[in-house]
Amino acid sequence: MKAKKVGKIEFDSFAINGYEPTWKNGAKKANFESYIKYQEEMVTNERKNAPASNEIIASEAYLKVSDKLSTIPVSRAAKSYRSVQSNYLKMYVEDQLLSNPGGDNYDLESSDGRCHGCNETYSSAVIKDLRDAFSNLKNFLLDFTVGAKFKYVDKNGHIQTGRHRGFLHSVGSFFKHLVSGFTFGFYTPENVPQPKGFWGRIKHFFKNIKEALLGDLVEGVGGSVNHMAEDVILGTWNTLEVIPDATIGASPQGRKAISSIFDSGQVVLDYLTDIAPGGDAWMRVHAGNLFKGEVPVVTNLRKESSTAKDLKWRYVRNTPFRKAIETAGTLIADGLSFIFLGRGLFSSDEKRERK
């Protein structure tokens, strides 16, 4: 897949990592916002000196701020900025529709993740809805056991296949790490070398207890429960789509409208489950290691692109748009969870006092 370009920068790199031209006497800019600020200063100076004659490079952000500059031609830099903002959203929507069955133009069983010949007739649309609903039901059973498969876009723009961690698989891994830790490595799972020496066994103990609690229990079990709930929700959503597809979907215009509504709804539902406790986005936002100076929230904001080293970011294109909405949504979800948890605790105390 040939990437679009912004100037001489590959679009995928631009969208994920930012735009890094040389400017202001050849100095490298820190980020795109700094570049915009520099353009704003230049616009102000040029308008003072020759307001009627000069064609000024202006960013879209600055054009919105000042009505007086509305007649200035929008430069290629401003068009690039606007293009990137819209493509952040397109990339996010594509990632979400590839992660679960249901997208009207997506087929997770095909090699490229695309659905060929879908929605040509209302009957094909209805069949697609039922097949997606069944696939989500199947994914529920897989997420309960070994984990369901999904599609994602890698850092090179290619469609790849991944697999979630299943509930039972995570429970089994939890007990293996727990036993291995408490036996100080005298028992280790297959293909895992035994630790050597006294300090080696002490490190093995703490490493396996941490992996059992955080890796298997929180991320594994918690994540698989979240995926199972997501499978049920999206399976129900796909089933509901059958009704409009079988009625107003008789016309091409009707099928197009239905597809737009239900695809958008699926992206929203997927987002809500992602930011819920145990969701993929929730895990990324809370990721960090204080011993290594990695602070939760900040760690995710600093991740520039997908990385194979950490499963939390391997399957996503971590654009600024994704970081922003996932961080904001997760923090709101944390606040709501804290409020509801607090109300539950206080209400229980009140009931005890009344008794």
Write down the pLDDT at residue 20: 44
Please name which of 12, 10, 7 lies closest in space to residue 35, comparing C-alpha atoms: 7
pLDDT at position 16 is 47
Assigned token pair, 11: 């679009």
DSSP 213: I
The tens place of each residue's pLDDT in the chain, 355 residues long, gives: 444 444 444 444 444 444 444 444 444 444 555 555 655 565 566 555 544 433 344 434 334 434 443 444 555 555 555 566 678 899 999 999 999 999 988 988 888 888 877 777 878 889 999 999 999 999 999 999 999 999 998 888 889 999 999 999 999 999 999 999 999 989 888 788 889 888 999 999 999 999 999 999 999 999 999 999 999 999 999 999 999 999 998 888 998 999 999 999 999 999 999 999 999 999 999 998 887 888 999 999 988 766 667 788 889 999 999 999 999 999 999 999 888 876 665 555 555 555 5
What count of Cα atoms within 13 Å lies in the side-chain half-sphere of residue 165?
Answer: 23
- Please tell me the predicted confidence (pLDDT) of residue 252: 87
Q: Read out DSSP for 92-152?
A: HHHHHHHHSTT-TTB-TTSTTSBPTTTTSSHHHHHHHHHHHHHHHHHHHHHHHTT--EEEE
> What's the pLDDT at 45?
61
How much is the pLDDT for 73? 53
Prediction pTM value = 0.72
Radius of gyration of the chain from Cα atoms? Answer: 25
d(CA 139, CA 150): 9
Helix, strand, or coil (residue 6)? strand
Integer angstrom CA distances of residue 12 from 88, 175, 229, 275, 293? 10, 41, 32, 25, 29
Alpha carbons 303 and 295: distance in angstroms, whole number: 12
